Copies of this chain bind each other. A is one copy, B any other.
Amino acid sequence: MNIEVCYTPQAYNLFHKDESIVVVIDIFRATSAIVTAFYNGVSKMIPVATVEEAKEYQQNGYLAAAERNGEMIEGFELGNSPFGYMNNKVKGKTIAISTTNGTQAIEASRKASKILVGSFLNLDVLCEYLAEQKKDVILVCAGWKNKFNLEDTIFAGAIVEKLTTESGFEITCDSAIASKHLYNIAKQDMFEFLSNSSHRNRLAKLDLERDIKYCLTPNQCPVIPVMEGKYLVKM
């Protein structure tokens, strides 16, 4: 089995293979929020590309989440802070969600046969599942507006590290090699490693240190969200 890392949604078509499993990654904070939501009993989520679509769902009675540039959009119940989803109000609900990068990455990989949602919060269960499937894996980083970012890359590196050393996966692209190197530099103190990254600085201005620390703490939510038609559901 091969494992590849696609650094931005823009590049997905270069990596697509019909049989591969895609893992979408947006550490700060969409995929961390989605994993948290399912761990806290959300029933379904509907990832949509535009704020307008999220609004439409809201008008039809759904809970709706919308974030752009790190901030919750006015008029919505939720943004992409994981802490918003640790709440009895979301239990059993279906939530439409649109974010700056994460839901764009889901959109870009829509033709994949299977799309999973990854974050540090579900790292181990995700790797166990991938190891059992015996299929090629494409890790799709959401990045920042189609530019490479560090936090998604080091998480991709954590998966590459686990699947190559423990489960016999092979690396066939340079971005997987680079991700693994960067994870190995970062892993002793990811918070510190990311201290100068562009997105950390973006979030620091918004006073989101608590979110950042939470999103970097592995295995707090051992669930795997998976796309089924237009819905994300818990596997």
Interface residues of A (CB under 8 A from B): 7-8, 10-11, 14-15, 144-150, 153, 171-175, 177-178, 181-182, 185, 196-199
Contacts and interface: CB of A to CB of B under 8 A. Distances in A.
Given A11-B10, A182-B182, A175 B146 contact: no
Nearest to A149: B174
The 3 nearest A-B residue pairs measured at CB = A148-B175, A150-B174, A149-B174
Contacts of A10: 10-11
A71 B104 CA distance: 38
A110 B177 CA distance: 30
9 contacts: A10-B11, A11-B146, A14-B145, A148-B173, A153-B174, A177-B197, A178-B178, A181-B182, A185-B185
Contact of A147 (B146, B174, B196, B197): B174
Nearest to A15: B147
A137 B14 CA distance: 27
Contact of A178 (B15, B146, B150, B199): B150
A144 B153 CA distance: 19
A144, A147, A173, most chain B CB atoms within 10 A: A147
Contacts of A199: 174
A3 to B, nearest CB: 13
A175 B147 contact: yes
A14 B146 contact: yes
Nearest to A196: B177
A178 B5 CA distance: 15
A178 B173 CA distance: 16
B11 A147 contact: yes
Given A7-B148, A14-B145, A148-B7, A153 B178 contact: yes
A173 to B, nearest CB: 6
Nearest to A197: B174
Nearest to A5: B148
A153 B175 CA distance: 10
A198 B181 contact: no
A198 B185 contact: no
A91 B210 CA distance: 63
Contacts of A173: 147-148, 198
